[in-house]
Amino acid sequence: MTATLILTHFNELFVPNDPGHPLRGKEMNEATVLKDAYVAFQDDKILAIGEGEVPAELIGPKTKIEERRGMVATPGLIDCHTHLVYGGSREHEFSKKLNGMSYLDILAEGGGILSTLKATRESSFETLYDKSKDLLEQMMIHGVTTVEAKSGYGLNWETEKRQLEVVKKLNEDLPVDLVSTFMAAHVIPPEYKENPDPLIDEIITMLPKIKEENLAEFVDVFCDAGVYTAEQSKRLLEAAKKEGFALRIHADEIESIGGSTVAAELGATSAEHLMVITDEDIQKLADAHVIGNLLPATTFSLMEDTYAPARKMMDAGMAITITTDSNPGSCPMANLQFVMQLGCLYLRMTPTEVYNAVTINAAYSVHREKTVGSLDKGKNADLTVFAVPNLDYLLYYFATNHAAEVYKNGKCIVKDRQIVRA
Ligand code: NIG
Ligand code: FE
């Protein structure tokens, strides 16, 4: 079989292993780095990878061959935790934060997620679509080809549905893959402050409708001090599981109140944040094979020093990913490369662990491991090309966009750091 396009002479090509499960513990520090490498696409699929000269049998009369000397490539990056769709922004709270007001205190006085809730409820489908499209294109420009996106700034059926419909339409219209998560249990509005249980009941009634309209694959809940208790989170996630959803949980971000235990008990796909997780809970997640989705740019933006204990997690045999958490409050940004750099600098991950975290492990975290996340023959031809001399350089030279070119399903979607318009 001959290739349609072959990119040749990459200085380095990062090739993750895909053993049929997310890379756990020591496995996260294993991968192959090919030198003077080529990647051959057959239309929208990976056909072959290798080193040195391209074998003649891959080249046919219609094969395009292009050199990429001086560059490196990885599988298309995967951002597996984002709050992509929302109205407004929160710079009006920035000075409060700089003056030392905490995230939960801003929320308690009606700001934070509650202020985005108001702005999102007031935004039309078109406004949300245009805004999210811009944000998604920023992510693509930074090398991302697959993105998880949550609802959670509506809480009522109408707005949650609108958010998820925006995700669905963006998935149809843009060349990236979107994976959606229903997260109505993102905050407790003042009218339910005393007793959030009726709100949980209400959210549970939305689950069959979300399923019926195929609006989400995952259900997520913010389990933390000032938000949902472990008991409330468990009740909602149990109902979601019965309804056939895969589960995620925002846990141990601000206080450790039992969210990770819920994730382990219910067999959630992932637990998110985990900044203040206990050693005991790390072991529970490792034993239950729950993936830890870590969000170091959130810790950075919250100006905290409680970075998630990534090394302890890997020592305990956990699989972890790192991801932006892109949202208007705790992490207003769209640059996964910066998160990767923080992964090295503050989570103390090795470059190999970081690259595995945003490719193969992130693919498992969004249940797309059969199609993306590695460069195995037959997977989708998703590739990010970086204008750096080696893989370490990308992580060392921080806060710069190194992605020069991005391929999704064999098509070039970003060229010279700009979106390719059809
Ligand atoms: O993952 N922790 C809860 N939710 C988001 C923040 C959302 C917001 O502040 O708007 C997060 O950090
Ligand atoms: Fe989040």
Whether the Cβ atoms of residue 279 and residue 290 lie closer than 8 Å to each other: no
Whether residue 250 has its Cβ less than 6 Å from ligand 1? yes
Distance 68 CA to ligand 1 centre (A): 39
Residues of the chain scoring pLDDT < 70: none
The model carries a pTM of 0.98
Q: Phi, psi at residue 190, to the nearest 5°?
A: -55, -35
87 lines ligand 1 (CB under 6 A): no
**Whole-number pLDDT of residue 55:** 98
> What is residue 190's predicted lDDT score, i.e. its pLDDT?
85
| 165-182: pLDDT as tens digits | 999 999 999 999 999 999
Residue of 363, 304, 397 whose CA lies nearest to 102: 304
Instruction: Note the pLDDT of residue 57.
Output: 97
Q: Which atom of ligand 1 is nearest to the CA of 222?
A: 3
User: What's the CA gap between 34 and 38, in Å, rounded?
Assistant: 9
Using a pLDDT cut of 70, give the percent of the chain over it. Answer: 100
Phi and psi at residue 97, in whole multiples of 5°? -60, -45
- What does the pLDDT look like over 307-339, one tens digit per residue? 999 999 999 999 999 999 999 999 999 999 999
Pairing state between β 320-322 and 72-75: unpaired
Residue ranges of E strands in 151-286:
177-185, 218-223, 246-251, 270-273
From residue 404, give the alpha-carbon distance in Å to each of 72, 77, 175, 186, 194.
10, 13, 17, 36, 51
Q: Ligand nearest 115 Cα, by number?
A: 1
pLDDT score for 211: 98
CB of 325 sitting under 6 A from ligand 1: yes
pLDDT in tens, 16-46: 999 999 999 999 999 999 999 999 999 999 9
